[in-house]
Chain A
Amino acid sequence: GIQVEQSPPDLILQEGANSTLRCNFSDSVNNLQWFHQNPWGQLINLFYIPSGTKQNGRLSATTVATERYSLLYISSSQTTDSGVYFCAVSDKIIFGKGTRLHILP
């Protein structure tokens, strides 16, 4: 089956810093989503981005489908950005292990 690798596994940043989270996948996919799991465990949709680039406020994402990776950019981090960020691909959604982000005040 498709393998999804996310990096880095953990990231600690000072408030205001920028970050880039990466997702590599082992085969071509029709679907790719980025989620934020907040401290209460809820999975919040960030982007549906099987290809191309999208932006939403301080967040943006780029997927290069031909090279099988996606990047999530977070600019001017805030403490509320803390949590786990998951990349998920394919129809039955295969999740990566996530990147745990800690934003320090």
Chain B
Amino acid sequence: EPEVTQTPSHQVTQMGQEVILHCVPISNHLYFYWYRQILGQKVEFLVSFYNNEISEKSEIFDDQFSVERPDGSNFTLKIRSTKLEDSAMYFCASSGGGLVKYASYNEQFFGPGTRLTVL
């Protein structure tokens, strides 16, 4: 069964450093998303990406964040200058077409997450 993969599984960084989180969405999916979950809280939408551009973003997704699809398979989230409050689990998701049996076009599939710790 196709799945979304994310690397690294854990990332520890110093405050002020740049981090890039990597995701490989399900092949042939057209929509890509990033979400975050601060420990013990609910999952929050950050950004959606379609046709090589951001389609929607939340107020959390400020100028410190950027996304990129550098090639046909990867989808990255960059945080330019990390803050303590950026510590969270970051989930990538994809939807729209693809090779998942019986899945609806709008059904989102989540990766296992990257746990980011900012010291």
Contacts and interface: CB of A to CB of B under 8 A. Distances in A.
Contacts of B108: 33, 93
Contacts of B115: 41
Interface of A: 30-31, 33, 35, 40-43, 45, 48, 86, 88, 91-98
Nearest to A43: B110
A80 to B, nearest CB: 17
B89 interface: yes
A102 to B, nearest CB: 15
Contacts of B91: 43
Chief secondary structure at chain B's binding surface: strand
B65 interface: no
Contact of A31 (B42, B89, B106, B109): B106
7 contacts: A30-B106, A33-B108, A41-B113, A91-B48, A92-B45, A92-B48, A92-B58
Contacts of A91: 48, 56, 106
Interface in B59-76: none
In the A-B complex, the 3 residue pairs with the closest CB atoms: A48-B107, A43-B110, A95-B43
B14 interface: no
A93 B113 contact: no
B44 A42 contact: no
Contact of B35 (A30, A48, A93): A93
Nearest to B112: A42
Contacts of B43: 43, 86, 88, 93, 95
B52 interface: no
Nearest to B108: A93
Given A31-B106, A33-B108, A42-B110, 18 more contacts: A35-B110, A40-B112, A41-B37, A41-B89, A41-B113, A41-B115, A42-B112, A43-B110, A48-B103, A86-B42, A86-B43, A88-B43, A92-B33, A92-B56, A93-B33, A93-B45, A97-B42, A98-B42
A101 to B, nearest CB: 16
